Structure 1
Amino acid sequence: MTLDDIDLAILRHIQNDARINNSKLAEKVNLSETPCWRRWKRLEEAGYIDGYRALLNRKKLGIQISSFTLITMGNHEEESTLPFEEFAKETEWIVMCHCISGGADYMVHLVAKDMDEFFERISSLRRIKGVSGLQSNISVKEIKSGTQMPLSD
């Protein structure tokens, strides 16, 4: 599926405001409502839209610690990496996990209410079979945070 300018405009508006209704979206992209709705559904069905989420304010929720932790595995065999990957997928306080290149094997973004909770969480990561090292980098100031993808005009 090739995206045209209208598809990109629809994605841009949905990305900026996932609560936009079809009527308002159609107005913004200069389409009538039915063709706009069809395009929107086609973009969903084609997998361009993974879902719709609310962005929560972690500090208002009492989550003061945000850490980017590098994880090193003992080896790269599936029996070593699988327990860690399953733990990361199932753990709510790990908000992001990537397998990376470079000196470490994974980078996780984890959150905690305070340093005591952070220490507990790091300790639980250390206990996972296959994990051989951790390096935590605690964020002291958030400059930019978001989930928006760049869309060409």
Structure 2
Amino acid sequence: MPIKLDDIDRRILRALQRNSRMTNVELAEEVGLSPSPCLRRVRILEEEGVIERYVALLDASKIGMGLTLFARVWLTGQDSETVDRFTKAVARLPQIVECHLMAGDCDFLLRVVAADLDSYRRFQMDHLTRIKGVQSLKTEVPMQKIKLSSELPL
């Protein structure tokens, strides 16, 4: 259930989404609070699970993983054993950075990162198609990244 956020909470969250490395003093100044109440609010947001964690966002192309692909996966069945086996296998594969159980045409949608098409093809053949219960797989290749954001609208 969503928690009730006031305007100051929203300002704190917007600021931290842009730059989670700012000091509490900088954050307090930006949102119009003194440091102690600001820190108290941040801690409450962390304890309530609104702030799940802090991360560094990397430039994938600079670490040799500049290709993003979307794989649609159809399983042989949607029974709990098949789905559990698939989700556990996916969780072990770091190249899969998102996995969504879908309603509609396919069973799962995966966002996969790779160095290039050849490395993705090897990953697909060596890992994805070998997961027991995978019936078929279709890969979508994006032509241009228009928008990618980690910030939620507040």
TM-score by length of 1: 0.95
Query: Are 1:150 and 2:153 matched, yes or no?
Result: yes
Identity %, equivalent residues = 37
Q: CA deviation at 1:18?
A: 0.8
> Which residue pairs with 1:103 in the alignment?
105
Matches within 5 A, 1:47-126: 47-123=49-125, 124-126=127-129
Secondary structure in structure 2 of the residue aligned to 1:142: coil
Unaligned segments of structure 1, at least 5 residues:
none
- Where do 4+ consecutive residues of structure 1 move more than 2 Å? none
1:135 maps to which of 133, 138, 149: 138
> Which residue pairs with 2:35 in the alignment?
33
Q: Distance between the aligned counterparts of 1:38 and 1:29, measured in 2?
A: 13
TM-score by length of 2: 0.94
> Which residue pairs with 1:3 in the alignment?
5
The CA deviation string for residues 12-48 of structure 1, in whole angstroms up to 9 with x for no partner, is 1001111111001101111110000000000000010
Secondary structure in structure 1 of the residue aligned to 2:99: strand
Q: CA deviation at 1:65?
A: 2.2
Contact 1:65 1:139 in 2 (8 A): no
Q: CA deviation at 1:64?
A: 3.4
C-alpha RMSD of matched pairs (Å): 1.0
Q: Distance between the aligned counterparts of 2:8 and 2:116, measured in 1?
A: 46
Secondary structure in structure 2 of the residue aligned to 1:102: coil
